[in-house]
Every structure is written in structure tokens, then in C-alpha cells.
């Protein structure tokens, strides 16, 4: 049975892991540029991380599925992220930076499914959607707090201090991980992801059997389309703004922090609704925000980009991010009720999302150069609209039959 210590440990784990991952965002490009790197060299280094993230999704999921105890493998992954941050801080040279980018990307492919697996063990499938909503709230609070504190750290000290602080943040993340008691497990939970790997093999359950689930394929298609429309949208909007005004620092901060605050506010509610009314209604609401956001950005680009409206439009990003972030592990759990390979399913969906995001920036750049930013925003909005149509017309409801809201005060606490 889950204890209060484990529950609070899970919240803290989501908070600090999200804070750690913020350190590998825009700060890397700024730090390398300050070290005299060309934009081509910076782009190649970041591409190493993107490529490693794509390649690591499926092996990372398989690795987490293959071990019954998740804490040791997650410990190694978190220490690898700390080592990557220290490499960036003290060895900003070509090969150490490339190794750091690859280390962080591959370790993250283990950390994300590990948290999902630990959460399922603690709360069970019936309460999984609501607990994922709580996870998302604390992750968003951690990301927003880290963005602010690392920005202050860079301002008062240096960009190097950002990576030292990122490595140090791994320590409270590890403390939170070990506050979650290994023996805590939801009573009566029968999801096969909780079985020892040897037991799954004894029952002749094989990893590839997850790909027999049509709902998993349909959600993967919608994930590709969603990220094809989403990934380039904010960078393109900020680029258009930067061409007209140099004072974009506060706008960038606001455009990042506002969606995180929206995710923190709505994720627990979205989790409860996903359990009460089903997955598809929540997906339809969240995915609808993306094409609307793209069309608003297109209108803003035509009128001349402005900082405050851009930040306001980012509220929609928070809504869609809350829906997708909640649904990826939840639908993975729904579609692996027979096989138990939850983390392989999460890795598969992460790969689909990564492919869409990778193509998004290239597509937006080509269209912007050829036809202008408003057209690029319309194309990105159309991709988001196509993702919404896949959910509306083809995606089945994956919530287990007979499982309505399992909300309790303990989960929301």
C-alpha cells in the first residue's frame, strides 16, 4: 500500500527531474556561442542530442521493462545527466560537448519511462490518469522554477554556473527517488507491467505484441502530426518578433513560463476528466488548441508581431501540452493491459513525437523562406488540425470498461 512518504517523494521527483532537464535547453546554445562556437558547430552539437534521443526511445523503454526494480537504473541515468552537465560546464570542446548531449538524451530516454512505471506501481491503473495529472503539475512547477532560477544564476554569475547548478539539482532528485519505498504498491493491481520480467516471459508475452494494438498506432500517427505542427510554432513566432524588436528577453521567458503555469493548473483536472469521461474527449479539447494557436500566430505575423499577444497565445500551448503529456503514458498503459510492456509503448510514442518535431523545424524554415511566416503558421496549424481529425474519426476510446472516476483526496493532496 502506498505511504505518504512515497506520495510526496513522487511529487518531488517530478519537480526536480523537470528542473534538471531545463538546464539542457536554450542555455546550451548560449554557453557554446559565448565560447566562440559558430552557429553551425552549435547546431551540429544539438543535433547529436536530438539524434540520440530518437535512437534511444525504444531501447530505453525496453531496458526499463527488462528490470523489475526501477530505482537502480534510474539512479544511473540521473548520474549520467549530472556528468553531462559537468562536461558542458568544464569541457566546452567539440567531443566532450557531443558526448554530453548524447548522455543527456539517452539518460532521459530511461528517466521518463521509469517515472511512469513507478507511478503505475504506486497508484494502480484505475487511478493512473489522476496521478499523472499530479505528476505533470509538479513537473511544470519544477521547470518554471528552474527556468527562473537558472536565468538569475546566469545573469549574476555565468552560463557555466547554470550547468553546475543543474548537476547539483540531481542530488535532491535522487533523494526524492529513494524516498519512494520499493515495497509500496497499489493493492490488488493486476496490470502486467508490474509483473517481474521473468513472469512475463513465462507467460509467453513478447515485446513486439504491443504493436498488435490498433489504438497505439493511431495515437502514434496523431503524435507525429501534433508535433509536426507544434515544435516549430514558438521558435518561428519568436524569430519573427526578434526581427522587429531586439528586446525579446522578457517575452521569451513569458512564452516559456506561461504554458508551464497552465499545465500546472489544468493537469490534475484533466487527469480526473480522463478517468471520468474518457481519454478521447480530453484529447479532442487539448489537440484543438494547437490549430487555433497556429492561426492566431498567422494573424499576429500578418499584423506585425507583438510581445504581449504572443505570450497570451501561449496559454493555448499549455492546454495542448497538458493533454498530450498526460495522454502519452496513460494511453501506453491502456494499450498494454495484455502485454505489460508499458515502457516500450512509451518509447514508441516518444519516437513518433520526436520524428514529428524533427521534421517540424525544417518544414517551417523552408516554407517561411519560400512563402513567408504567415503561410508557415497556416501549414503548421493544418498539421495540428490533421492530428485532431485522427482522434475524432479513428482513435478508439482506450479507458478500461467500467472504470469511472477513481478520484480520492489522497491523490490530489
Q: Does any domain span residue 166?
A: yes
Q: Are residues 154 and 35 in the same domain?
A: yes
Q: What is the pLDDT of residue 306?
A: 64
Q: Does any domain span residue 362?
A: yes
Task: Write down which residue in 161, 189, 217 finishes a domain.
Answer: 189
Task: Write down which residue in 167, 189, 211 finishes a domain.
Answer: 189
SS3 of the chain: the string is CCCHHHHHHHHHHHHHHHHHHHCCCHHHHHHHHHCCCCHHHHHHHHHHHHHHHHHHHHHHHHHHHHCCCHHHHHHHHHHHHHHHHHHHHHCCCHHHHHHHHHHHHHHHHHHHHHHHHHHHHHHCCCCHHHHHHHHHHHHHHHHHHHHHHHHHHHHHCCHHHHHHHHHHHHHHHHHHHHHCCCCCCCCCCCCHHHCCHHHHHHCCCCHHHHHHCHHHHHHHHHHHHHHHHHCCHHHHHHHHHHCCCCCCHHHHHHHHHHHHHHHHHHHHHHHHHHHHCCHHHHHHHHHHHHHHHHHHHHHHHHHCCCHHHHHHHHHHHHHHHHHHHHHHHHHHHHCCCCCCCHHHHHHHHHHHHHHHHHHHHHHHHHHHHHHCHHHHHHHHHHHHHHHHHHHHHCCCCCCCCCCCCCCCHHHHC
Q: What is the pLDDT of residue 2?
A: 62
CA distance 304 to 129: 41
Q: What is the pLDDT of residue 409?
A: 38
Q: 21: domain CATH number?
A: 1.20.1250.20
* Residue range(s) defining the domain that contains residue 384: 200-413
Q: What is the pLDDT of residue 406?
A: 43
* Structural domain count, the chain: 2
Task: Write down which residue in 125, 155, 189 finishes a domain.
Answer: 189
Q: Are 260 and 144 in contact (CB under 8 A)?
A: yes
Q: Does any domain span residue 195?
A: no
| CA atoms within 13 Å, Cβ hemisphere of 118 | 27
Q: What is the pLDDT of residue 243?
A: 73
End-to-end CA distance of the chain: 16
Q: Does any domain span residue 204?
A: yes
Q: Are residues 409 and 281 in the same domain?
A: yes
Q: All 3 cell numbers of residue 11? A: 511529487
Q: What is the pLDDT of residue 405?
A: 45
Q: What is the pLDDT of residue 412?
A: 41
Q: Are residues 26 and 174 in the same domain?
A: yes
Q: Does any domain span residue 109?
A: yes
Q: Does any domain span residue 240?
A: yes
Q: Are residues 143 and 172 in the same domain?
A: yes
Q: Are residues 156 and 37 in the same domain?
A: yes
pLDDT in tens, 167-177: 999 999 999 99
Residue numbers of the chain with a pLDDT score lower than 70: 1-2, 188-189, 204, 245-250, 303-306, 402-413
Q: Are 333 and 280 in contact (CB under 8 A)?
A: no
CA distance 351 to 113: 13
Question: Burial letters for 402-413: b for 16+ Cβ neighbours within 10 Å, e otherwise?
Answer: eeeebbeeebee
Confidence (pTM)? 0.86
Amino acid at each position: 500500500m502506498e505511504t505518504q512518504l512515497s506520495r510526496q517523494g513522487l511529487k518531488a521527483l517530478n519537480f526536480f527531474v523537470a528542473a534538471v532537464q531545463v538546464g539542457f535547453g536554450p542555455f546550451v546554445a548560449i554557453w557554446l556561442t559565448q565560447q566562440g562556437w559558430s552557429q553551425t558547430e552549435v547546431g551540429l552539437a544539438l543535433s547529436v542530442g536530438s539524434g540520440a534521443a530518437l535512437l534511444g526511445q525504444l531501447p530505453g523503454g525496453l531496458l526499463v521493462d527488462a528490470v523489475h526494480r526501477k530505482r537502480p537504473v534510474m539512479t544511473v541515468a540521473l548520474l549520467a545527466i549530472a556528468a553531462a552537465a559537468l562536461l558542458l560546464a568544464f569541457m566546452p570542446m567539440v567531443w566532450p560537448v557531443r558526448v554530453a548531449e548524447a548522455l543527456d538524451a539517452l539518460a532521459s530516454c530511461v528517466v521518463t519511462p521509469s517515472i511512469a512505471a513507478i507511478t503505475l506501481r504506486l497508484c494502480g491503473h484505475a487511478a493512473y490518469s489522476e496521478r499523472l495529472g499530479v505528476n505533470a503539475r509538479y513537473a511544470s512547477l519544477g521547470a518554471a522554477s528552474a527556468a527562473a532560477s537558472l536565468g538569475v544564476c546566469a545573469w549574476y554569475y555565468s552560463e557555466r554556473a547554470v550547468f553546475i547548478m543543474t548537476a547539483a539539482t540531481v542530488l535532491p532528485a535522487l533523494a526524492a527517488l529513494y524516498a519512494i519505498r520499493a515495497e509500496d504498491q497499489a493493492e490488488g493491481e493486476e496490470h502486467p507491467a508490474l509483473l517481474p520480467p521473468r513472469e512475463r516471459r513465462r507467460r509467453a508475452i513478447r515485446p513486439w505484441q504491443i504493436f498488435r494494438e490498433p489504438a497505439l498506432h493511431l495515437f502514434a500517427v496523431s503524435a507525429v502530426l501534433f508535433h509536426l505542427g507544434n515544435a516549430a510554432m514558438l521558435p518561428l513566432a519568436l524569430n519573427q518578433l526578434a526581427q522587429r524588436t531586439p528586446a525579446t528577453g522578457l517575452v521569451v521567458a513569458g512564452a516559456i513560463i506561461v504554458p508551464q503555469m497552465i499545465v500546472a493548473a489544468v493537469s490534475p483536472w484533466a487527469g480526473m476528466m480522463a478517468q471520468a469521461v474518457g481519454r478521447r474527449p480530453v484529447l479532442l479539447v487539448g489537440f484543438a488548441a494547437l490549430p487555433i494557436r497556429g492561426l492566431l500566430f498567422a494573424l499576429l505575423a500578418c499584423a506585425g508581431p507583438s510581445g504581449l499577444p504572443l505570450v497570451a497565445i501561449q496559454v493555448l500551448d499549455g492546454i495542448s501540452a497538458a493533454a498530450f503529456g498526460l495522454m502519452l503514458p496513460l494511453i501506453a498503459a491502456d494499450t498494454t493491459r495484455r502485454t505489460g510492456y508499458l515502457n516500450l509503448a512509451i518509447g514508441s510514442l516518444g519516437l513518433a513525437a520526436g520524428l514529428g518535431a524533427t521534421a517540424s523545424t525544417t518544414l517551417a524554415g523552408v516554407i517561411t523562406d519560400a512563402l513567408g511566416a504567415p503561410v508557415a503558421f497556416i501549414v503548421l496549424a493544418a498539421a495540428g488540425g490533421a492530428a485532431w481529425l485522427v482522434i475524432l474519426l479513428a482513435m478508439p476510446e482506450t479507458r478500461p470498461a467500467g472504470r469511472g472516476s477513481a478520484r480520492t483526496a489522497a491523490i490530489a493532496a
